[in-house]
Amino acid sequence: MKYLFLTYVTICLLLTGCQTESTSSDQSKKTELVISAAASLQDALKEIESAYEDDHPNVTLTNNFGSSGALKQQIAQGAKADLFFSAAEEPFDDLVQSGDIDQDHTKDVIQNELVLIVPKEGSSSIKTFRNVAHIKGKIALGTPESVPAGTYAKEIFTKLNIWDQVKQNAVYGKDVRQVLNYVETGNVEAGVVYKTDALVSRKVKIVDEANQDMHSPIIYPVGIVKQTDHMKEAKAFFQYLQSDPAAAIFKKYGFQVK
């Protein structure tokens, strides 16, 4: 009987140890969410994500920043993504229509403005969108076909009836942050970016702001990608992006909260 009792105790201890190890292992597992987001969201989104990860230690947020058009193509072709945060409605709506974005989990979260910038230490004579038609150097724009900031810029210059002149002096960037860099480094005389991008740079100055009626509304929708393997965690972060703490950070970086 003594030996049977010792054997029983040993088995119980082994089972308890295995269970504890398993529980510990489960708690240490982290869920990675991949966020495909417009380049103009970099600063605000990174701060929001840092706050979120502090409160959700079992979630890791990985970013894929780029132009909204390029990100749309990646998702449509099956690239890994759990959420898509676009700087324009058109590429986002295309993915909703194709079934790549879950239409039950979409939200217009923030808005932005478009501005004309020049190097802070430069001597550019460009002061308004209209006199870009007479620019002596180059102007940086996002590629209109894939970068929403470039699309909006083209709308402005088309409305001013100067697009033909402007495009002759245009240098195109793959996303709005590349456009910002072109201006910061003095490689171009001027550029068109979002107001939020200009506000985070100490190397450029805003010389003009576009009126809202000069271009399509600059709305940033976010949604959950249907192919996500982590719907529960994706929903939680999707909701957090609409929360008051997230809104405060968006406002801090110059975005308008919907």
Question: In this predicted model, what pLDDT tens digit does every residue of 100-154 receive, in sequence order?
Answer: 999 999 999 999 999 999 999 888 889 999 999 999 999 999 999 999 999 999 9
Which of these ranges, 15-19, 56-60, 83-87, 143-147, has the smallest mean pLDDT?
Answer: 15-19
Predicted pLDDT at 172: 98
Mention the CATH class of domain 114-214.
alpha beta
Strand spans (E) along the chain:
31-38, 59-66, 83-85, 101-111, 114-119, 139-142, 170-173, 190-194, 204-209, 219-225, 256-257
222 contacts 89 by C-beta, under 8 angstroms: no
Per residue in 27-50, pLDDT (tens digit) is 458 999 999 999 999 999 999 999
Confidence check: pLDDT of 3 > 80? no
Report the share of the chain in percent with pLDDT over 90: 86
Place of tokens 């929903």: 235
CA distance linking residue 79 with residue 226, whole number of Å: 12
Q: Does domain 28-111+219-257 have CATH number 3.30.930.10?
A: no
Domains of the chain, by residue range, sit at: 28-111+219-257, 114-214
Q: Does the pLDDT at position 9 exceed 90? A: no
Among candidate residues 196, 146, 140, the one with its CA nearest the CA of residue 166? 140
The reply to whether 28-111+219-257 and 114-214 are identical in fold is yes
Tell me the pTM: 0.87
Q: In terms of pLDDT, which residue wins out, 87 or 2?
A: 87
CA distance 182 to 39: 15
Residue 88 banded pLDDT, cuts 50, 70, 90: very high
CA distance 46 to 54: 12
Pick from 37, 82, 55: nearest CA to 220: 37
